[in-house]
Amino acid sequence: MNIKIIGVGRLKEKYLKQGIEEYAKRLSKFAKFEVVEVPDEKAPEQLSEAEMLQVKEREGERILDKIKDREYVFALAILGKERSSEELAAEIDKLATYGNSDITFVIGGSLGLSKAVLKRADTQISFGRFTLPHQLMRLVLTEQVYRAYMINAGSPYHK
């Protein structure tokens, strides 16, 4: 099984990197895990709608360049379907059972994901209506993927 997280922008915060590294190490028992960073588009604070769209499109192109045809893609989106940890675990297990051994999660930049990325995604997933920094979301997502594997392994970690 291959699990990949594609995130927009560089992760600078040491504590977030350390958390992701810890869960990546734990995940290595179950799957090949990698985080791929694509550059964010530099933009001024105040953007018009057209400029926002342009930023998302440029970031989207960079994201799509990192996705292979065979990958099953979860796009993180506020309007996506919320899942419990158990539901995500069951979904990952089902994908593996039916031959989808390459799973990719995509976290957009501060403006979200382009329409092209959302269209390419096989499904959209939401972690609720909270607004979280996309850098923190990488850590939260990595932990949830690890939790899914622990649920599927019948481990008490989930309790």
- Residue 32 to residue 47: CA distance in whole angstroms: 39
- Residue 60 to residue 156: CA distance in whole angstroms: 38
How many residues would you count in the chain?
A: 159
Among candidate residues 70, 46, 41, the one with its CA nearest the CA of residue 58: 41
108 annotated among ligand-binding-site residues = yes
Q: Give the number of other CB atoms < 10 A from CB of residue 44.
A: 6
- Residue 147 to residue 159: CA distance in whole angstroms: 10
- Helices 14-27 and 134-152 sit at what angle, rounded to 10 degrees? 20
7 annotated among ligand-binding-site residues = no
Which residues are annotated binding-site positions for S-adenosyl-L-methionine? Answer: 76, 108
Which residues are annotated binding-site positions? Answer: 76, 108
